[in-house]
Amino acid sequence: MPLRVGEKDFQTRVNKGLDDAFMRGTVRSAQEQLRTRKQASSEELGDWEAWRSLGEEIRTHTLEHLDYYLEQLSDKVAERGGHVYFAKTAEEGNAYVRKVAREQEAKKIVKSKSMVTEEMSLNDALEEDGLEVVETDLGEYILQVDDHDPPSHIVAPSLHKNRAQIKDVFAEKKDYEDSDNANDITRFVRGELREEFLDADIGITGCNFAVAESGSISLVTNEGNADLVTALPKTQISVMSMERIVPTWEELDVMVSLLCRSAVGQKLTSYITTLTGPKGEEEIDGPEDFHLVIVDNGRSDILGTQFQSALHCIRCAACVNVCPVYRHVGGHAYGSIYNGPIGAVLTPLLDGYENNKDLPYASSLCAACTEACPVKIPLHEQLIAHRQIITEKEKLGSMPEKWAMKMFGTGVSAPKLYRLASKQAHRVMSPWTKGSRISNGPGPLKAWTNFRDLPAPASERFRDWFANRRRSEFDE
Amino acid sequence: MSRGTIQGREDFLNRIAEKIGRPRSEHVERPEWQVQPQWDVFAGENTEQLMERFKAQCDKIHTNVIETDVNGFREAVAETIGAYQADSVIMWDDVRLERAGLDDGFRSQMSALGVETKVWDTSKGEENIRLAERAGVGITYSDITLAESGTVVLLNSPEKGRLVNLLPENYIAVIPRSSLVPRMTQATRRVHERVQNGEEISSQIHFVSGPSNSADIEMSLVVGVHGPVRATYIILGDE
Ligand code: SF4
């Protein structure tokens, strides 16, 4: 599955999402559940803001010295007998994995969920060579069995499907005969997947964080599938996107703690596995042969730009879970494996503006994403920066604004638009400002500026202005 | 162990340096981080307080907790195996388990009750994996235990197989009271110090918190998707 998924046309995808009442229901309750859990568990941590600052500081430092830490990482992996391959592109990475599979005369591959291999379309590449590739994460497995239905959420990929639909998928494709009870379905999948694990020649995983000082990679899951993927097959290949690295084990603690709390509201997930090289000579289980593929695939082009901090992302989906736009349209509307606010920031960076010029408009600019992000990526500011580039440089501006108006007609209330307008710094709004008025606002603002000029938020926060104005209206 | 290969590195890293806009980083000191809230969590709490937190957390992660001392230990393990209605057990080849009471005598007692108890045996190679796959219960010993998250940290080695806590349907972790620390911070510092001293670390370090679970179907929790369906921690008081 490539970076871009689903219908080509953004409007079609959005309409589909808006029409899907079930999906909206699930998405809404999932958002609420994940958000509440996150809130509860981050409160227990004491000073959550201090944790976020630490997360941001660690990510900033690491990215600024990425070449050094990747060099250290690769040396350490090699010292422990692992092989490291640096892949500039998806094609290079895929070619390397295919070569390893050929050398091992592999037939079956088990995988644990990995965004970067999705981005590379690694499964397709391997299937072209006649290999059988099995996704073992429950949500990913469901999607795979359902003819590769695309995922709709970063941490809950099959969120858009209900129990009955899932049951039908297994009944049709795997002769499943039991009920649509989640426990029954799980039992069935457990049995199916056990066979696959015991049979597989190669295990492929992603990498949540690599630890430079020891050449270790870590995998964070609740199901324990990554553990089986790495312990049973003789050959293991871990594919990491180049920015997923921390200097030492001490930072691994911080990043994993932030990830677990932000992603699923847990202190730690059930399984956190850290692997250093292949198994020792005396060891029975674990891979004999370990490969680490480090992938660039467009990421280095983000370094040194105003978007560099987008690479700080740890894929926790906290921004997705607070996003009102995601709530309305669902994950598929983004047309990218990276959805929600971070998807809207990242996809145009990795895949260019041409095919993704609508995405930066898939935001109400309410800044909830920025406030939720555990590593303090200024997501809504980056979305505005994208819009500026699109309107100023790319001249692609008119269509997405129409889209934004239409969508916002359906959900986000007017006071919310006022509030978001007020949150933007003057700098950001300047392209649309004439004197002290905004007469041609971007995206959703345009709906307002069409029939009235907004005062520019330079001198007074709009919310305050609005509150004052209301008060004076009532006073009159 | 022979050294592995590295391919494609120079171009790749040069490009990164160039994009950042400076020459390649020769040496980087990890800075002293400005804030370090991780050390404040449960700071100054004694083992008793940490133990209370640990037990409360186990409740949340659907993990059964039994507290016992050396005298009651064997019985506690036997009862748990009985409660799981298992007829086969596999456990680490770990002298700490043996010393605590899971020795030959225990194994013959269990066998009299119809429960076959096997120890992970490096001389038997792959057969261990088949045994673990069939076993109803897997038993390991916790090297470090994290109060905050209800986690056992397993430092794997040839005698301490990775699959013992994963393949069987039920999992028992034996937890010495003395292994308790506030949170992951203390465990990762220990590993960090080993790395700094040039010592080799385990090829797998496993942080395990309760049974395997998933919320992929309509966000409702289900257990045992891949790993164990049930988990019990047996806390062993120090002598
Ligand atoms: S951008 Fe921030 S909140 Fe969103 S997934 Fe990445 S780390 Fe999480």
Q: What is the pLDDT of residues A365-387, one digit of tens each?
A: 899 999 999 999 999 999 999 99
Q: C-alpha angle A182/A263/A374, rounded to 5°?
A: 170
Interface probe with A: pick from B203, B206, B213, most Cβ of A within 10 Å: B203
How many Å apart are CA B143 and CA B199, to the nearest integer?
17
The least confident of A118-122, A406-410, B65-69, B135-139 is: A406-410
CATH code, B185: 3.40.50.10420
Q: Tell which atom from ligand 1 comes closest to the C-alpha of A341.
A: 4
Give residue A311 CA to ligand 1 midpoint distance, Å: 10
pLDDT classification of A90: cutoffs 50, 70, 90:
very high
Residues 6+ apart with CB under 8 A from A400: A10, A357, A358, A360, A361, A390, A443
Query: Which CA distances in Å does B205 have to A101, A218, A450, B61, B188?
Result: 27, 9, 60, 20, 10
Nearest to A159 by CA among A58, A267, A276, A31: A31
Q: What is the per-residue DSSP string for B80-130?
A: HHHHTT-SEEEE---HHHHHHT-SHHHHHHHHHTT-EEEE--GGGTTHHHH
pLDDT digits (tens, 9 = 90+) for A311-336: 999 999 999 989 988 888 888 888 88
The letter for the amino acid at A185 is I
Interface list for A 135-194 with B (CB within 8 A): 136-139, 142, 156-159, 162-163, 166, 182-183, 185-187, 189-190, 193-194
- H or E element that contains B171: strand B170-176
Least confident range of A170-184, A451-465, B4-18, B144-158? A451-465
Return the closest-CA partner of residue A404 out of A384, A427, A424, A422. Answer: A384
Quickly tell me which residue has 């040496």 as its tokens.
B27
Ranking A161-165, A221-225, B169-173, B215-219 by mean pLDDT, the lowest is B215-219
Q: Establish whether residue A375 lines the binding site of ligand 1, counting it when its CB lies within 6 angstroms of any ligand atom.
A: yes
Q: What are the start-end ranges of the H helices in A80-178?
A: 90-103, 115-119, 122-128, 138-145, 163-174
Q: Is the confidence at residue B1, as pLDDT, over 80?
A: no
Residues A188-236: pLDDT tens digits?
Answer: 888 888 889 999 999 999 999 999 999 999 999 998 899 999 999 999 9
Chain A interface test: which of B185, B216, B218, B221 (most A C-beta within 10 Å): B216
Residue of chain A with shortest Cα separation from B202: A276
pLDDT at A44: 67
Q: What is the pTM of this model?
A: 0.86
pLDDT higher at A398 or B151: B151
Q: What does the pLDDT look like over A257-291, one tens digit per residue?
A: 999 999 878 899 999 999 999 999 999 999 999 99
Domains of chain A: 52-302 (3.40.50.10420), 399-473 (no CATH)
> Is the model's pLDDT at A38 over the cut of 50?
yes
Q: Is residue B202 part of a domain?
A: yes
* Total structural domains within chain B: 1
Q: What are the b/e assignments for A301-321, b being 16+ CB within 10 Å?
A: ebbeeebbbbbbbbbbbbbbb
Q: How far is CA A5 from CA A39, A302, A330, A349, A356, in A?
A: 32, 22, 14, 16, 12
Positive or negative, the CA dihedral A347, A242, A211, B233 is positive
Please check whether residue B167 is in contact with residue B135, taking contact to mean a CB–CB distance below 8 angstroms: yes
The whole-number pLDDT of residue A439 equals: 39
Round to whole Å and give the CA distance between A26 and A24. Answer: 6
Give the tens place of pLDDT for each residue, B30-39: 999 999 999 9
At how many degrees (to 10) do helices A21-44 and A10-19 cross?
90
Instruction: Give Cβ neighbours of residue A352 (< 8 Å, ≥ 6 apart).
Output: none
Nearest to A279 among B149, B203, B223 (CB): B203
Residue nearest to atom 3 of ligand 1 (CA): A373
Q: Are strands A209-211 and A216-221 parallel, antiparallel or unpaired?
A: antiparallel
- Determine the average pLDDT of the residues in A141-152: 85
Residue A24 clears pLDDT 80, i.e. is over it: no
Residues of A within 8 A of B170 (CB-CB) are none
Backbone Cα Rg of chain A = 23
Q: Please tell me the predicted confidence (pLDDT) of residue A160.
A: 86
Confidence of residue A427 (pLDDT cuts 50, 70, 90): very low
User: Does residue A410 register a pLDDT over 50?
Assistant: no
DSSP-H helix ranges across chain B: 9-20, 47-60, 70-83, 95-100, 104-112, 127-134, 184-196
Task: Write out the residue range of the structural domain in which residue B147 sits.
Answer: 42-213+223-236
The answer, yes or no, to whether any atom of ligand 1 lies below 6 A from the CB of A258, is no
| pLDDT over 90 (residue A25) | no
Would you state the pLDDT for residue A8? 67
Q: Which residue of B has its CA nearest to A74?
A: B6
Sheet holding B137-141, edge to edge: B64-68, B230-236, B170-176, B137-141, B88-91, B116-119
Instruction: Flag if A54 and B36 touch (Cβ within 8 Å).
Output: yes
Is it the case that residue B225 has pLDDT exceeding 80?
yes
Residues A424/A31, Cβ–Cβ less than 8 Å = no
- ipTM for the complex? 0.96
Asked if A252 and B36 touch (Cβ cutoff 8 Å), the reply is no
Q: Is residue B13 one of the residues assigned to a domain? A: no
Asked if the structure places residue B131 within a domain, the reply is yes
